[in-house]
Amino acid sequence: MNGTRRAFLGTALGAAAAVGLGTGAASASESGPCRPVPPSGIGMHLYTMRTRLAVDFKGTLAQLAEIGYATVGVSGRHGHSAADIRRMLDETRLKAVLEHVGYDIVRGAGLPKALEDVHTLGGKWIVVPSLPGSLHSPAGYREVAREFNRIGLAAREAGLKLLYHNHGSDHQVVDGVNLYDILLNETDPELVGFELDLYWAADGGASAPGELFVRHPGRFPALHVKDMAPDGSFADVGSGVLDFPAMFDTARQGGVKQWLVEHDAPADPFASALASYTYLSRLRY
């Protein structure tokens, strides 16, 4: 574990050791924080549920709604059209807030249809989920920033906003330059925002999310709330070592509207969804 990541996790590891994993962060001290995550803001990023969606898309949505989820982020359609998914969302009383769409699609001729589909789904944001490895350099990220400004303008004209979803490699320092900082500093805040994945930010050694929210106010309307086990693997939200109350303390300054649960490899997607929802719904910060 590198030094930056160690610092990022330090307070969380201490809290976990003091109170036991999965329970301490959700309970504020008697005289401490009392702000809840808004129920309308607790969502599920559907990548978590992909194995179940492939078998029964509508039934999976219905079970998420029964757990208490209000929103979803769409990531993979499993053979359904945007209109099909919107119908199933309406029938299960869930709302799609965003869809992940590949970089090659949004920078090319597929952008108008992608924007139309996000509208059909009922979303606010079109999200680029990752970047090609060939662009992993300061020059490549500056090229991406220019493309994001162009794409972001088209999204705004369509009544939507472009967001970027990070992975650990986005937070690396290459030739003395932090790649994620290039995207933050060289894109227009009016046109480009960010869906911050909290696990990958920690894994990549990023600045603490609370600091990012303060330094770049209003730029993070959506989060991927994903936890990290002590060994660095994925964990159900609230069962790992990440200090979510500390991260969320400045969430309003960051512009956070959606807390989207994600687990990249759950053994039981529904059990993971229930555990993560229970934690977030009880959390106070």
The residue assigned the tokens 């969380």 is 12
107 burial class (0-12, 13-18, 19+ CB within 10 angstroms)? middle
Please state the rounded mean pLDDT for residues 165-191: 97
The reported pLDDT for the residue numbered 29 is 40
84, 89, 91, 131: which is closest to 107 by C-alpha? 131
> At how many degrees (to 10) do helices 111-121 and 82-92 cross?
20
Neighbouring CB atoms inside 10 A of 59's CB total 13
User: In sequence order, what DSSP letters do the residues of 154-214 get, joined into one string?
Assistant: HHHHTT-EEEEE--GGGG-EETTEEHHHHHHHHS-TTTEEEEEEHHHHHHTTPPPHHHHHH
Do 231 and 193 touch, CB atoms closer than 8 A?
A: no
Average pLDDT of the residues of the chain: 91
Residue 252 reports pLDDT greater than 50: yes
SS3 state at 56? coil
The reported pLDDT for the residue numbered 33 is 72
pLDDT tier for residue 183 given thresholds of 50, 70 and 90: very high
pTM for this predicted structure: 0.89
Please state the rounded mean pLDDT for residues 79-95: 98
Cα separations in angstroms, 253 against 42, 71, 208, 210, 277: 18, 22, 14, 9, 23
Per-residue pLDDT tens digits for 107-132? 999 999 999 999 999 999 999 999 99
Given this structure, which CATH class describes domain 39-282?
alpha beta
Residue 212 reports pLDDT greater than 90: yes
Cα separations in angstroms, 111 against 104, 124, 149: 9, 15, 14
Domain positions in the chain: 39-282
